[in-house]
Amino acid sequence: MQFTAITSPAQQVSTELLILPIFSEQPLSNSAAALNQALNNQLQTLIDQGDFTASAASTLLLPAVQGIAAKRLLLVGCGKAPLSDAATRKLVSAAIKSAKTLNITKASLLVDGLEVKQRDCYQITRLIAEEANSTLYVFDQFKSEKKPATQLNELEFVVAEADLAAAEQAASHAQAIALGMNFTKDLGNLPGNICHPSYLAEQAQQLAKDYANLSVEVLDEQAMESLGMGALLAVAKGSEQPPRLVIMQYTGAKDDSQPLALVGKGITFDTGGISLKPGAGMDEMKYDMCGAASVLGTMKAVLELQLPINLVGVMTCAENMPSGRATRPGDIVTTMSGQTVEILNTDAEGRLVLCDALTYVERFKPKAVIDIATLTGACLVALGDKTSGLLGNDEELIQQVLAAGKTAGDVAWQLPLFDDYQEQLDSPFADIANIGGRFAGTITAACFLSRFTKNYPWAHLDVAGTAWISGGANKGASGRPVPLLTQFVLDNL
């Protein structure tokens, strides 16, 4: 979908559909009042008669309005001002659902007059655009009968003159982020029999064909062996699918300034291995590659925007399967860093594929490294599916990531990485065990990673809860944390 911005008096916006947000219990905004006047007081009458109460996310379509340049008017209730992010999303979703049923290609939305708590016009526009994109997203590749695709392909934001530049920038950023999120969602929704490690590698290679300043290198098992990546290899051992370490390098900066590095967990299916998971809901473990997919999605957004920064994106990909060749509980492997690991639970595989990738990225002398992983069920228990877990070794970096999440409406929350937790990883037989105890699972997982990230500022995002929407009509990948990561890049230009 195309996002654009214009400035114009509301009654002069020439469009197939004008979406007009209206707050309850307050006079019409200036734009709404101007429309009302051009419409012979029709809006005020609808409100006075109680035909439109402006309750949250309610909609009323006025199909053939006369006296204004727009052909149709869609009133959207906002409830009481100001709006929260969540309420804004709900009303945008309701408006877009209503708009997509019409035979139109373009809709315009009056942003002017919309009040959202602690958000300026740039951020409001981003929020609306990204929600509109999510509402229109469909994944029907495997449906024999597809629902007819919506015609709606442009959303235009009508803003005050003073906000035009900000809204234009927001529209362009949101469009790139939306593309990135959709890419990430598609990959997360693909089943494990299609989206395996080599498939993810091919996606990166395709991206490098599409954009000139991206180069891609793919390491196979042999290369991993020569690098001594014993942990990554141990996870892949039980699978017929070979592992892949995919390294994408984007050169957007004019100089050879230090890159930012993103490292994503790419377990294309997580059965648990010999420490087999229970059967119920195991199908969802196809989304255990969403960390990697979010690296691809963020790379896509950055490529679209051609941001002036150097960015390294790494996907550490394997399939975690049980078999006669699979790693056993108790097996000891040597990581690329030289540290040995006792694999007490083969289901704690994410940290194993990540640790070697985290050692590998040292060669890029990154100014910061962020890893993204559907790492622990414990993170779902702690934070649910709304907030990503965040831990790391550099307070300044952590604060930057938190701020990016807030700006992007893709929030994270810091958990402590106190030294006291480290002893849970003590092993009698090797340098480190791959699991801690029963408690603080998200923290002990990060403790494990912290043993491999001592040489650079590092932050870890646990997206086990946020990368996927479980059950219900919206079941599927969420595209998170592409907005947070892209925002982080934007904030670091």
Backbone CA torsion sign across 444, 447, 449, 452: negative
394 is in an annotated binding site: no
Closest among 340, 332, 344, 346 to 238, alpha carbons compared? 346
CB-nearer residue toward Zn ion: 228 or 377: 377
Query: For residues 322-351, which are near Mn ion according to CB under 5 A?
Result: 347, 349
Q: Are strands 244-251 and 310-320 parallel, antiparallel or unpaired?
A: antiparallel
Size of the site for Mn ion (CB under 5 A): 3
Smallest separation, CB 407 to Zn ion (Å): 29
CA distance 112 to 10: 9
Specify the stretch interacting with Zn ion by CB under 5 A; choose among 60-68, 211-219, 349-357, 389-397: 349-357
> Is 347 annotated to bind ligand?
yes
- Whether the CB-CB separation of 343 and 320 falls below 8 Å is answered with no
Verify binding: residue 267, Zn ion, rule CB under 5 A. Answer: yes
Give min distance, CB of 427 to Zn ion, in A: 21
Q: Does 288 bind Zn ion (CB under 5 A)?
A: yes
Of 350, 436, 457, 476, the residue at the interface with Zn ion (CB under 5 A) is 350
Q: Which of 22, 311, 7, 278 is nearest to 161 (CA)?
A: 7
Give the residue with the Cβ less far from Zn ion, 345 or 414: 345
Active site residue 277: yes
Cα gap 493→479, rounded to integer Å? 23
End-to-end CA distance of the chain: 26
The one of ligand BES, Zn ion, Mn ion, none whose footprint includes residue 410, by CB under 5 to 8 A per kind, is none
In the three-class reduction of DSSP (H, G, I as helix; E, B as strand; rest coil), residue 370 is classed as strand
Q: Is 491 annotated as a binding residue?
A: no
Stretch of 10-18, 244-252, 255-263, 268-276 lying at the interface with Zn ion (CB under 5 A): 268-276
Of all residues in the shown chain, the one whose CB is closest to Zn ion is 270
Q: Which is nearer to Zn ion, 267 or 305 (CB)?
A: 267
Residue 351 designated active-site? yes
Which CB, 260 or 380, lies closer to ligand BES? 380
Q: Are the C-beta atoms of residues 110 and 17 closer than 8 Å to each other?
A: no
* Residue 377 binds which of Zn ion, Mn ion, ligand BES, none (CB < 5-8 A, kind-dependent): ligand BES
Residue 485 binds which of ligand BES, Zn ion, Mn ion, none (CB < 5-8 A, kind-dependent): none
- Does 270 interact with Mn ion (rule: CB under 5 A)? yes
Pairing of strands 388-392, 458-462: antiparallel
Chain residue at closest Cβ approach to Mn ion: 347
Interacting residues with ligand BES (CB under 6 A) = 270, 288, 345, 347-350, 374-378, 380, 435, 441, 464
Find the radius of gyration of the CA atoms of the chain: 24
What is d(CA 55, CA 45) in angstroms, rounded to the nearest whole number?
16
The single residue of 126, 351, 451, 480 carrying the catalytic annotation is: 351
Question: Does residue 370 contact residue 298 with C-beta atoms inside 8 Å?
Answer: no
- Residue identified by tokens 């945008």 is 92
CB 291 → Mn ion: shortest distance, Å?
13
Distances (CA, A) of 84 to 89, 381, 409: 9, 25, 11
- Distance between CA atoms of 196 and 117, rounded to whole angstroms? 42
Q: How far is the CB of 299 from ligand BES (least distance, A)?
A: 22
Active-site residue, selected from the candidate residues 71, 97, 100, 277 = 277
303 vs 380 by CB, closer to ligand BES: 380
Sheet holding 18-22, edge to edge: 2-6, 154-158, 106-110, 18-22, 73-77, 59-62
Q: Residues 366, 258: contact at Cβ < 8 Å?
A: yes
Annotated binding site: 265, 270, 288, 347, 349
* Contact residues: Zn ion, CB under 5 A: 267, 270, 288, 350
Annotated binding site for Mn(2+): 265, 270, 288, 347, 349
* Contact residues: Mn ion, CB under 5 A: 270, 347, 349
Catalytic residues: 277, 351
